[in-house]
Every structure is written in structure tokens, then in C-alpha cells.
Amino acid sequence: MSIKFTVTERDGTSLARNGILELAHGSMETPAFMPVGTNGSVKAISHQKLEEMGVPLILGNTYHLYLRPGTEVIDAYGGLHQFSSWKGNILTDSGGFQVFSLATFRKITEEGVRFRSHIDGSYHELTPEKVVGIQNSLNSDIAMVLDVCTPPDIEYREALKALEITTAWAKRSLKEWQLHDPAPGRALFPILQGNFYKDLRQRSAEELLPLDFPGVAVGGLSVGEPFPLFLEMLHHTGELLPPEKPHYLMGIGTPEYILAAVENGIDLFDCVFPTRIARNGSVFTPRGVMALKNARFEKDTGPIDSECDCTACRRYSRAYIRHLFKAKEILGPMLATEHNIHFLMRMTRNIRTAIRNSAFREYKEAFLDEYRGKHT
């Protein structure tokens, strides 16, 4: 096995579990939130701050890094770690999602996907093999296969077609990955698709899981569907996942989604949302999301969250940070970003403690009661 994953504790009352994931750039505890560093930088926060918070892994986006600065530049450094000077682990997505959400034109064939760059309109083609090659250049600790992402409202035929291509691409990706003879501590994950059809999710699992991948990702959820549908599909999919391997749910990172993910056996998750809303002045607190631009904080001398020990909460008041956002000062996004990542790091630490104590469900209920304003 290219990477080592050990389940250390199980909650018992749900699929929630704690684990240790050993990767080329360090071991990490799971469940873990992975901040997104699209262009090789988590927006509005320094590497040092992430290190101080104990972030063990950040994401990079293959689509973005391939287009800019290009693998040629990153090759000059021997990989994304050296280029960006990030010493921890890096997971890169395959670019599939971005081709579908950002590119101004795309055409899928069995061979790969042709698209136009959202940056300069130039034409490009990505194939499963090429995407593996790029991620090999990036020297990603966890690389992802190219997949076909589908929106929540498509017909069965279309979902089936996307699934078939995704499976075929996963097989080609694995073959290519093995040709590169990756170093220990590096792994390629396939992506379970199947849209919102349970039998297709089942079929995707049946086709992908027997292959020799050391972990598995769940894609195509949290793509705009209602929360109950997300929960239903997550529950269905969670039960299909091999218990001994790490499970990565792509694109989720808010407290309610994180709790649902962990409850269904998810170990890793990422999302741009926490850092994106931070740049817009919204911060997580135990009592829900707080929009700092709100007029009621104009003279509020208290911290965002008195129990938080991030820079923003230790040093600054709500009124000052509100002022920074109103005046469009960059320090506003800097402080709010640090706070939101810090919040999720603390939350996942608390989740792991709850699992250790076989008390995940109690933790979840108590958290959500307070978060949704049911506290007294």
C-alpha cells in the first residue's frame, strides 16, 4: 500500500471514526478539514499562520495550477511543495470539477475533455493520463483521478454515461499512476460518482472499489441539491465505502455538513466556503455564522468569539474588524480567514475527542443546538 491509514477509534453509535493517515509530508489525524489553496496559496493567510494552527494538509487545484503558472514552472522547483514553500501535505483535485464549473467551453469524449481556459480563452485538453502526469509534476501527496461531474438535475441516461466514463478514466489513471512509480506516502484516489441515483452510486462503488486504490473520494454531492437529499445520498454512499481505507468527501466544509460527513464515516473534507465567506466578512461562531458588516457590531467592543484563541479573537474587536470590512482593508479578510480556519480546526479536534469518548452523537446534538440558536 502506497500510504498507511489506521483507524484508531470508532464512535460505535455511528460510522464516525478517528484515524491516522501517514503521507509523504507527515502524519495527520482524521477526521480533518483541508483548507483550499487553489493557486498554491490559501487565500488571505500566510503559510506560517496555517502551520501555527497545525494544518497538516492543504488542497491545490490542478486545473488552476496547470493553466497558471503551468507545470513547466513548477517542474523547475521539483513540485508544488518547493514552489509554494508549503512543508505539509498537499492534496490536488483532478481539475474535473473546475472544467465543468469554470471553463467557458468543454467537450467530453471517451478520450478526455477539451475546454477553453477561463483565464485567456486558450484551448486545452485533459486526459486521465495527462492529469496524473500533472499531479506527478506537482508531487501531490494525494492525487485525484479525472472524473465527470454532473449537476443534480440530470436524467438517468446522462448520469449513467458520466459514470461509465468516470470508471474507465479511473482505470486508465491508475495504470498511468503506477507507471510513474510514485514514492511511498503518495496515493491516487478514485472518485465515486452516480449522481443522485442510488443504484448508480452502488454501481460506481462496485466498479471502483475492487481496483487497487488506497483510498476513495465521494464526488458529486453538495453540488446545489437540498440538504435532506445530500444527507440521504451521503448515508447511502457512506455505507458502501471500505472501512479500512480513508474516505474523502469532496467540497464540503461547513459545520452542519462536516458533522453529517463524519457521522457517515468520512475522514477528509475540503471546501472553499469557509475562506470565501471570510473574505466577505462572515465568520463561524459556536452560535452560528456572524455577518460582521452588520450595523449592530458598529460599537461592539467584544471579540468575534470569546472562546477562540485565533489572532482575530485574541486581539481585535468585532467593531474594528467590521470597520476593516467597511473600509475594504485587506486586514479584514486576513483576520476573518484565520478565524474561520481556526474554528474548523478546533471543531475537528473536538469531534475527534468526542469519537474517542464514544460520544459523537451527543457532541453533534449539543453543537447543533447551540449553532442553530436553540441554546438558552
- Catalytic site positions: 93, 270
The answer to the question of whether 199 is labelled as a binding residue is: no
Of residues 157 and 327, the one with the C-beta less far from a second copy = 327
**Residues in contact with a second copy by the rule CB under 8 A:** 38-41, 43-48, 64, 68-69, 72-73, 76-77, 83-85, 298-299, 301, 311, 315-317, 319-320, 323-324, 326-327, 329-331, 333-335
Least CB distance to a second copy at residue 308 (A): 16
Cα separation, 90 vs 87, whole angstroms: 9
- In the bound state with a second copy, the residue whose beta carbon lies nearer, of 197 and 273, is 273
Query: Is 147 marked as a binding-site residue?
Result: yes
Nearest distance from C-beta of residue 323 to a second copy, angstroms: 5
Residue type, 368: L
Residue closer to a second copy (CB basis): 69 or 152: 69
For a second copy, the closer CB: 63 or 230: 63
Beta bridge partners of 30: 19
Rounded distance, CA 15 to CA 237, Å?
A: 12
Q: How many Cα atoms sit within 13 Å of 102 on the Cβ side?
A: 16
97 is an annotated ligand-binding site residue: yes
Dihedral angle computed from the Cα positions of residues 211, 217, 220 and 223, in that order, rounded to the nearest 10 degrees: 180
State how far the Cα of 350 lies from the Cα of 352, in Å rounded to an integer: 5
Q: Is 137 annotated as a binding residue?
A: no
Closest approach of Cβ 292 to a second copy, in Å? 13
| Min dist. Cβ of residue 118 to a second copy (A) | 12
Distance, C-alpha 260 to centroid of its chain: 15
Residue-wise DSSP of 125-142: EE-HHHHHHHHHHHT-SE
Instruction: Spell out the residues 6+ positions from residue 232 whose beta carbon is closer than 8 angstroms to its own.
Output: none
Cα distance between residue 279 and residue 260, in whole Å: 25
Q: Which residues are annotated as a binding site?
A: 93-97, 147, 193, 220, 308, 310, 313, 339
Q: Which residues are annotated as a binding site for Zn(2+)?
A: 308, 310, 313, 339
Q: Which residues are annotated as a binding site for substrate?
A: 93-97, 147, 193, 220
